[in-house]
Structure 1
Amino acid sequence: FGRDNFYLEVQDHGLMEQKTVNKDLVDISRQTGIPLVASNDLHYLAQEDAEAHDVLLCIQT
């Protein structure tokens, strides 16, 4: 951890609220110098893990 290992993350979920949050995160990044990263909402790396992820989602609700 440490100061050089902190980032602000933006994602695009196609929601208007997310666009507002992303804009705010970009502003915070510019004001503070905290690096900004863009990512996808990823939950598993390999296609064969999709079923396990689906099961996990089912038992959480």
Structure 2
Amino acid sequence: MREAFDVEYKGRIFNFELDKKDGLIWLIQDDEIKSKTNSGQVIPARNIDEAKETAKVMLYAMGY
């Protein structure tokens, strides 16, 4: 089961999904190809609060 959530980072809103089964966080990129990215996540998130904090670290790691 996946839960959608938003994160504000450097004045921009980013859309993510948390896969509650395995704790993976996916950045939803709403561009021409509607892709999903999971980059920079080392530790699975146990809940939505952890997912939001991890998402900010992922955005930093991806150069946003």
Same fold (TM over 0.5): no
- The structure where helix makes up a greater share of residues is 1
TM-score relative to the length of structure 2: 0.30
- The structure where strand makes up a greater share of residues is 2
Larger Rg computed on CA atoms? 1
For CA contacts below 8 A with separation 6 or more, give which structure has more relative contact order.
Answer: 1
